[in-house]
């Protein structure tokens, strides 16, 4: 029997008149991802995409993992299809389900009769399938309150689908349905999480990384590109713009008061990010800042940085504590890369006593000591773009 995948839609079912746009975007991305694992047919009905292989050798296991990382999908189940009669449903259940139940002790069956013309009710279907499972797996017992496995039978328009439970999908909205944003990607824990969170809300990502060679290393850059690749498994392929801040940082050190170094540097970052966003068609900037986490992330410091932003600045982690951010980093598999001991530009020339409650007018006075626009233009001239291809 041929195994299929059932991919249940998430919140796009609530989109009303706009639903077709969201659904079409989701199915287009789903088909693209499926094509990297072999040849598959994708059909859709009743808020579910059904994926079936059309040739031998298709990588169903790999596709299953990729579908669980697809934003817009709430649940994914491996299933088989049976003809819409009880004889076929019972025979298929008895043949397919034991592989998932051999090491389990308890189960229950839930049935959903989406096709109301089917002659049995949902409870009747569940009872008969439960009997077939017990006959095939006599070591099991029924537990309707806390089963180890919930077998599901879905009688739909074209077939009856049988599976041993569903797995949570990534949820959210299909990437690309809510515009494009530029992620300020460092080598730390927070910014990859911020990118993931905004991609989950349908934002297509590009990224910018600021380096300070020779104070930062090639390994630091590779670390950031590896982080981008991890995020791309969810968010899709993206461009990473790498810009050098070495000259700016050296001039700040030589000409400005030390306690303002970080604030001034972040204002340069914001302006350069504005310019990259404009050039690449982004409509927002995204950062991993969390309120009060470090000196440059106090409310006053963020206000000093925001003063230069020409786009909305999304900070999805702003109200999260470090443990919450780390938990998400582990979930998306970026944490172990983020903690590799390679420096980033924000650790270069760090002031001993940074300003935590800066006044914008005083920061602007310090900024006037240097030719702001000329330094930004010179930094933009150093830009290199790395294309990160998503490996689902």
Q: According to the model, what pLDDT value does residue 274 have?
A: 98
Q: Give CA 108 to chain center in angstroms.
A: 33
Q: According to the model, what pLDDT value does residue 295 have?
A: 86
Q: According to the model, what pLDDT value does residue 165 have?
A: 86
* pLDDT tens per residue, range 19-54: 999 999 999 999 999 999 999 999 998 899 999 999
Q: Which of 93, 89, 200 is nearest to 136 (CA)?
A: 93
DSSP line for 78-130: EEEEE-SSHHHHHHHHHHHTHHHHTT-SEEEEEEEE-STTSSS-HHHHHHHHH
Q: According to the model, what pLDDT value does residue 158 have?
A: 86
Is 9 in a helix, a strand, or coil?
A: strand
Q: Which fold has domain 180-388?
A: Rossmann fold (3.40.50)
Q: According to the model, what pLDDT value does residue 2 have?
A: 85
Distance CA 94, CA 370 (A): 76
Tokens 């914001």 belong to 270
Distance CA 131, CA 91 (A): 11
DSSP line for 133-181: HHHH-TT-EE-SSS-SEEEEEEE-SS-EEEES--EE---SB-TTTT-EE
Q: Which of 77, 183, 95 is nearest to 137 (CA)?
A: 95
Q: According to the model, what pLDDT value does residue 196 have?
A: 98
What token pair was written down for 351?
A: 């002031």
Q: Are strands 384-388 and 284-286 parallel, antiparallel or unpaired?
A: unpaired
Distance CA 116, CA 353 (A): 71
Q: According to the model, what pLDDT value does residue 306 have?
A: 96
Q: Which fold has domain 3-168?
A: VC0802-like (3.30.2130)
Is 255 in a helix, a strand, or coil?
A: helix
Is 201 in a helix, a strand, or coil?
A: strand
Residue 66 CB neighbours (<10 A): 21
Domain definitions of the chain by residue range = 3-168, 180-388
DSSP line for 26-69: HHHHHHHHHHTTS-EEEEEETTEEEEEESSTT--HHHHHHHHHT
What is the CB-side half-sphere exposure of residue 162 using CA atoms within 13 A? 28
Distance CA 273, CA 241 (A): 10
Is residue 312 within 8 A of residue 284, CB to CB? The reply is: yes
Distance CA 277, CA 232 (A): 19
Q: According to the model, what pLDDT value does residue 145 have?
A: 95
Distance CA 282, CA 263 (A): 24
Distance CA 298, CA 239 (A): 30
Is residue 298 within 8 A of residue 292, CB to CB? The reply is: yes
3-168 and 180-388 have identical folds: no
Is residue 4 within 8 A of residue 50, CB to CB? The reply is: yes
Q: Which residues contact 184 (CB under 8 A, 6 or more apart)?
A: 191, 207, 208, 210, 269, 273, 285, 286, 287, 288
Q: According to the model, what pLDDT value does residue 207 have?
A: 98
Residues in the chain where the model's pLDDT stays below 70:
345-348
Is residue 391 within 8 A of residue 255, CB to CB? The reply is: no
What token pair was written down for 134?
A: 């017990």
């Amino acid at each position: 029997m041929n195994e299929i995948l059932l991919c249940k839609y998430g919140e796009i079912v609530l989109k009303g008149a706009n639903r077709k746009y969201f659904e079409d975007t989701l199915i287009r991305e789903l088909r693209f991802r499926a094509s990297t694992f072999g040849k598959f047919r994708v059909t859709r009905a009743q808020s579910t995409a059904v994926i079936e292989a059309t040739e031998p050798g298709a990588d169903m296991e790999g596709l299953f993992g990729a579908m669980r990382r697809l934003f817009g999908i709430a649940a994914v189940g491996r299933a088989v299809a049976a003809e819409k009669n009880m004889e076929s449903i019972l025979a298929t259940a008895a043949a397919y389900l034991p592989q998932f139940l051999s090491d389990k002790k308890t189960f229950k069956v839930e049935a959903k009769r989406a096709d109301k013309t089917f002659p049995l009710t949902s409870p009747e279907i569940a009872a008969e399938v439960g009997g077939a499972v017990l006959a095939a797996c006599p070591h099991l017992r029924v537990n309707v309150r806390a089963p180890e496995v919930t077998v599901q039978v879905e009688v739909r328009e074209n077939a009856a689908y049988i599976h041993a439970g569903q797995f949570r999908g990534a949820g959210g909205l299909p990437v690309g349905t809510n515009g494009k944003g530029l992620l300020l990607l460092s080598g730390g824990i927070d910014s990859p999480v911020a990118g993931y969170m905004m991609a989950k809300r349908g934002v297509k990502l590009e990224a910018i990384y600021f380096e300070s060679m020779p104070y930062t290393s090639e390994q630091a850059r590779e670390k950031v590109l590896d982080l981008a690749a991890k995020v791309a498994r969810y968010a899709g392929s993206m461009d990473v713009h790498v810009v050098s801040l070495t000259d700016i940082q050296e001039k700040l050190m030589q000409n400005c008061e030390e306690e303002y170094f970080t604030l001034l540097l972040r204002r340069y970052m914001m302006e350069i990010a504005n310019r990259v966003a404009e050039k690449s068609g982004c409509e927002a900037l995204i950062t991993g800042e969390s309120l009060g986490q470090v000196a440059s992330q106090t409310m006053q410091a963020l206000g000093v940085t925001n003063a230069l932003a020409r786009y909305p600045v999304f900070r999805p982690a702003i109200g999260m504590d470090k443990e919450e951010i780390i938990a998400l980093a582990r979930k998306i598999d970026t944490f172990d890369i983020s903690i590799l001991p390679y420096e980033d530009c924000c650790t270069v020339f760090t002031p001993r006593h940074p300003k935590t409650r800066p006044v914008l007018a005083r920061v602007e006075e310090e900024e006037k000591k240097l030719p702001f626009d000329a330094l930004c233009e010179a930094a933009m001239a150093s830009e290199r773009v790395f294309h990160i291809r998503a490996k689902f």
